[in-house]
Amino acid sequence: MGDVVPRGPWTSTEDRLGCRAVRRILQAFLDGEVEASQAELVAAHLESCGRCGVEARTFEAVIAALRRLRPDLDVEAYTRLRQVVDRLAADGGVEPPGSPR
Protein backbone atom coordinates (compact mmCIF):
# COMPACT_ATOMS: atom_id res chain seq x y z
CA MET A 1 0.00 0.00 0.00
CA GLY A 2 1.29 3.52 -0.84
CA ASP A 3 2.02 6.32 1.55
CA VAL A 4 -1.04 7.74 3.20
CA VAL A 5 -1.28 11.51 2.98
CA PRO A 6 -2.65 13.00 6.19
CA ARG A 7 -5.97 14.69 5.73
CA GLY A 8 -6.62 18.21 6.88
CA PRO A 9 -8.26 21.40 5.70
CA TRP A 10 -5.75 21.62 2.86
CA THR A 11 -6.73 18.36 1.16
CA SER A 12 -9.70 17.37 -0.94
CA THR A 13 -11.29 13.96 -0.98
CA GLU A 14 -8.75 12.93 -3.62
CA ASP A 15 -5.73 14.06 -1.56
CA ARG A 16 -5.19 16.88 -4.02
CA LEU A 17 -5.30 20.58 -3.41
CA GLY A 18 -7.65 22.96 -5.09
CA CYS A 19 -6.73 26.51 -6.03
CA ARG A 20 -8.44 28.05 -3.00
CA ALA A 21 -6.57 25.77 -0.59
CA VAL A 22 -3.26 26.51 -2.31
CA ARG A 23 -3.84 30.26 -2.05
CA ARG A 24 -4.46 29.94 1.68
CA ILE A 25 -1.09 28.29 2.33
CA LEU A 26 0.96 29.56 -0.61
CA GLN A 27 2.96 32.07 1.44
CA ALA A 28 3.83 29.50 4.07
CA PHE A 29 4.84 27.11 1.28
CA LEU A 30 7.06 29.71 -0.37
CA ASP A 31 8.64 30.47 3.00
CA GLY A 32 9.31 26.75 3.62
CA GLU A 33 6.99 26.69 6.61
CA VAL A 34 4.67 23.80 5.69
CA GLU A 35 5.03 20.13 6.54
CA ALA A 36 6.59 17.88 3.92
CA SER A 37 3.25 16.24 3.10
CA GLN A 38 1.62 19.64 2.49
CA ALA A 39 4.62 20.89 0.50
CA GLU A 40 4.39 17.89 -1.80
CA LEU A 41 0.70 18.55 -2.45
CA VAL A 42 1.27 22.28 -3.08
CA ALA A 43 4.19 21.60 -5.41
CA ALA A 44 2.12 19.07 -7.38
CA HIS A 45 -0.72 21.58 -7.70
CA LEU A 46 1.60 24.38 -8.81
CA GLU A 47 3.02 22.11 -11.52
CA SER A 48 -0.40 21.15 -12.84
CA CYS A 49 -2.25 24.47 -12.46
CA GLY A 50 -0.94 27.22 -14.70
CA ARG A 51 -2.83 29.96 -12.89
CA CYS A 52 -1.56 29.07 -9.43
CA GLY A 53 1.94 28.43 -10.79
CA VAL A 54 2.00 31.91 -12.32
CA GLU A 55 0.72 33.41 -9.07
CA ALA A 56 3.48 31.69 -7.08
CA ARG A 57 6.23 32.71 -9.51
CA THR A 58 4.91 36.27 -9.67
CA PHE A 59 4.76 36.58 -5.91
CA GLU A 60 8.30 35.20 -5.59
CA ALA A 61 9.52 37.70 -8.19
CA VAL A 62 7.81 40.64 -6.44
CA ILE A 63 9.27 39.72 -3.07
CA ALA A 64 12.74 39.18 -4.59
CA ALA A 65 12.55 42.60 -6.27
CA LEU A 66 11.42 44.25 -3.05
CA ARG A 67 14.26 42.63 -1.14
CA ARG A 68 16.79 43.85 -3.72
CA LEU A 69 15.39 47.36 -3.48
CA ARG A 70 14.82 47.30 0.26
CA PRO A 71 16.85 44.64 2.04
CA ASP A 72 15.40 45.98 5.30
CA LEU A 73 11.81 45.32 4.16
CA ASP A 74 9.47 45.64 7.12
CA VAL A 75 7.76 42.35 7.94
CA GLU A 76 4.48 44.16 8.60
CA ALA A 77 4.61 45.81 5.17
CA TYR A 78 5.31 42.43 3.62
CA THR A 79 2.33 40.94 5.46
CA ARG A 80 0.05 43.76 4.27
CA LEU A 81 1.23 43.20 0.69
CA ARG A 82 0.39 39.50 0.98
CA GLN A 83 -3.08 40.31 2.32
CA VAL A 84 -3.76 42.58 -0.67
CA VAL A 85 -2.62 39.87 -3.08
CA ASP A 86 -4.80 37.30 -1.29
CA ARG A 87 -7.87 39.57 -1.52
CA LEU A 88 -7.26 40.19 -5.21
CA ALA A 89 -6.87 36.48 -5.88
CA ALA A 90 -9.98 35.62 -3.87
CA ASP A 91 -11.99 38.20 -5.79
CA GLY A 92 -10.76 36.82 -9.09
CA GLY A 93 -8.93 40.08 -9.79
CA VAL A 94 -5.58 38.44 -10.53
CA GLU A 95 -5.14 37.08 -14.02
CA PRO A 96 -1.98 35.36 -15.21
CA PRO A 97 -0.09 37.30 -17.86
CA GLY A 98 -1.17 36.31 -21.35
CA SER A 99 -4.42 34.70 -20.26
CA PRO A 100 -7.39 35.10 -22.63
CA ARG A 101 -9.99 37.65 -21.60
Question: What does the alpha-carbon distance between residue 90 and residue 44 come to, in Å, rounded to a whole number?
Answer: 21
11 pLDDT band, cuts 50/70/90, is very low
Mean pLDDT of 3-19: 55
Strands (E) in 1-101, as ranges, are none
pLDDT for position 86: 75
Domain boundaries, the chain: 19-90
Please determine, for residue 1, whether its predicted confidence score (pLDDT) is greater than 50: no
- Of 34-43, 59-68, 76-85, the poorest mean pLDDT is in 76-85
Question: What does the alpha-carbon distance between residue 56 and residue 51 come to, in Å, rounded to a whole number?
Answer: 9
What's 65's DSSP letter? H
